[in-house]
Structure 1
Amino acid sequence: MRKAARRLRPAALASAVACLALTLSGCAQVDTTAPSTARAEAAHAGAHGAQAGFGSVDCRQAKCIALTFDAGPSENSARLLDILKEKKVPATFFLLGKRHIEKYPELVRRMAAEGHEVASHTWDHKILTQISDAQIREELKRPDDAIERLIGHRPTLMRPPQGRTDSNVHRIAKEEGLAEVLWSVTAKDYTTNDSALITERVLDQASRDGIILLHDIYPGTVPAVPGIIDALKQRGYVFVTVPQLLAPGKAEPGKVYRP
């Protein structure tokens, strides 16, 4: 979700342009852990096997990719869940609290019941690097509380709005028991309702261990999903949740994961 753009002074404009190169992580240089690294570290520590769910997928062997959706649930989510069920594909949902979890609690329950990973995208999409520690805690805690009431357990993953994070956010996320998940593929579906273009952008960027960022709140996105799934399956990809992508490793609170 995007906020209205502000008019920038020349110095601020230069800074903003520089930030375009760091879209995945805001304006901060962020240390991230790749899925392959998480798997290798777990293997070195003696962990075995793959995490269950949608069959046992071992991404050390399979050509895995993770489909993730931000900022729902929305009026489009039921159709998306129908598609995922038909295609037998799991996804990871980074949900917003205000006006979303609050409005569609039955869809949150359905996501969990059908084997998808339910995670947080904060309560009100505030940019975490621009607010106080107390506000960060509220943005992280409120959706986790709401999700726990609905599905019986707290999320272990969160995605910071606009991917903007820093060491302070990591510290508070660790206190809240949350790991941060960024992405490697973005269709920029907030810029277009053209489903064919969304599909093309995803397919152009897809690679092994990729994490695909989509938003089911936009009208062009859900219609693109069947074609994305079919095309990537034809290329030999296996769809997994983010925890499956890391298995036998597990997401550690306070760490940031990105391919």
Structure 2
Amino acid sequence: MPGTPSAIRRRCAGAAVAAVALATALSGCTTYDTQSPRSARNAAAKKAGADPSAAALPAGAVDCREAKCIALTFDAGPSEHTPALLKVLDEKKVRVTFFLLGHNHVDKYPDLVAQMGRNGNVLGNHTWTHRRLTDLEPAEIRTELDRLNTAVEKLTGERPTLMRPPQGRTNKEVAKISKELGLSLVLWNDTASDYATTDSALIHKRILKDAHRDGIILLHDLYKGTVPAVPGIIDSLRAEGYTLVTVPELMAPAKPEPGKIYKP
């Protein structure tokens, strides 16, 4: 299940893009434009000069133009550990973004999906079977994304509008199909490689090491060491002055645009 940053490296020198990402040698040197949450907010603020409504925040949203925000996200749920995670989030009063996986997750724990979407949490798309989208034909990409969205809509009444590509691998074709399906792509800057360790203290340490304002944290609640690390991660981030938010809150008043790739 890993969605590791090693799958994307910035190596393609000289590319005239806002940010350059490179898939591993399996996919070749693939570049694509990305936008940071901060730059999305700045663009919305600039637009507000002509359209004041562009600066409006959703009701109850944190204003990350003022607060020191960071987004906590979880991939590949639901899992047997999700109820414990939801209890922690409820007790800590934290809203997060879940990128749901279909096969053996949404279809195995359907009753958890609606619970995950409560209390202000946001449900996103992590494909149906976790195949690398950059290895697939267009019709297969569409099936991976649309099948998950349809399943979530059936369970919750709403279709996800955010998507995290497995292993962070994306390209222009993936972005094009995502746009057609109304999905914005969300990458990350901070992860603990929790698929490779059960050491909760190490997971905590790794997350705090790379945390920064307007960052996006990637964890997986299906791994044994992750959920026990979450209370301490939340407490430590708050002690450093962070406000934990969802991905849409991090970007507000900008709204995620379908087909656009966001990365801190």
Amino acid at match of 2:236: A
Residue 32 of structure 1 corresponds to: 34
Which residue identity does 1:26 align to in structure 2? Answer: A
Q: 1:113 is paired with a residue of what secondary structure?
A: coil
After TM superposition, give the deviation of residue 29 of structure 1 in Å.
2.1
What are the residue-to-residue correspondences of 1:16-27 with 2, within 5 Å? Answer: 21-22=9-10, 26-27=23-24
1:81-121 deviation per Cα after TM superposition (whole angstroms, max 9, x unaligned)? 00000000000000001111111111110111222000010
| Stretch of structure 1 that moved more, 136-145 or 98-107 | 98-107
Map of 1:140-159 to 2, 5 A cutoff?
140-159=145-164
Q: Is the 8 A contact 1:25 1:165 kept in 2?
A: no
- The residue number in structure 1 matching 2:57 is 50
Please list, as runs of the form range in 1=range in 2, the aligned pairs for 1:175-190 lying within 5 A after superposition. Answer: 175-190=180-195
2:144 match:
139
Q: Residues 223 and 152 of structure 1: is their aligned pair in 2 closer, same or farther, counting only changes over 3 Å?
A: same
Aligned length: 243
Q: Letter of the aligned partner of 2:9 in structure 1? A: A
User: Does the aligned pair in 1 maintain the 2:7–2:167 contact within 8 Å?
Assistant: no
Partners of 1:176 and 1:232 in 2: how far apart? 34
Matched, 1:215 2:220: yes
CA contact under 8 A between 2:69 and 2:242: conserved in structure 1? yes
| Maintained 8 Å contact 2:70/2:216 | yes
Amino acid in the other structure paired with 2:118: A
Change (3 A) 1:59 1:77: same
Which TM-score applies when normalising by structure 1? 0.90
Once residues 109 and 258 of structure 1 are traced to their aligned partners in structure 2, the CA distance between those partners, rounded to angstroms, is 27
TM-score, with length taken from structure 2: 0.88
Deviations 1:195-253 (A, max 9, x none): 00000000000000010000001000000000000000000000000000000000000
Q: What's the C-alpha RMSD, in Å, of the aligned pairs?
A: 1.7
Tell me the equivalent position of 1:224. 229
- Return 5+ residue gaps in structure 2 as ranges: 12-20, 25-29, 49-53
Q: Tell me the distance in 1 between the aligned counterparts of 2:263 and 2:8.
A: 17
1:132-191 deviation per Cα after TM superposition (whole angstroms, max 9, x unaligned)? 111000001000000111111110000000000000101000011100000010101011
Q: Partner of 2:174 in structure 1?
A: 169
Q: Tell me what 2:91 maps to.
A: 86
Instruction: Please give the alpha-carbon distance, in whole angstroms, between the structure 1 residues aligned to 2:7 and 2:234.
Output: 31
Change (3 A) 1:86 1:96: same
Q: Would the aligned equivalents of 2:220 and 2:226 in 1 still touch at CA under 8 Å? A: yes
Which SS does the other structure have where 2:179 is aligned? helix
SS at match of 2:117: helix
Q: Is the Cα contact below 8 Å between 2:121 and 2:246 reproduced in 1?
A: yes
Going from structure 1 to structure 2, the CA distance change for 1:221 and 1:19 (only over 3 Å counts) comes to: closer
The alpha-carbon distance between structure 1 residues 236 and 82, as it changes in their structure 2 partners (threshold 3 A), is same
**Partner in structure 2 of residue 197 of structure 1:** 202
Distance 2:7 2:246 in 1: 29
Change beyond 3 A, Cα 1:235–1:31: same
Report if the CA contact (8 A) 2:96-2:121 is conserved: yes
Contact map agreement 1:26 1:164 (CA 8 A) in 2: yes
Q: Residues 25 and 80 of structure 1: is their aligned pair in 2 closer, same or farther, counting only changes over 3 Å?
A: farther
Cα distance, 1:257 vs. partner? 0.3
Structure 1 outlier segments of 4+, above 6 Å: none
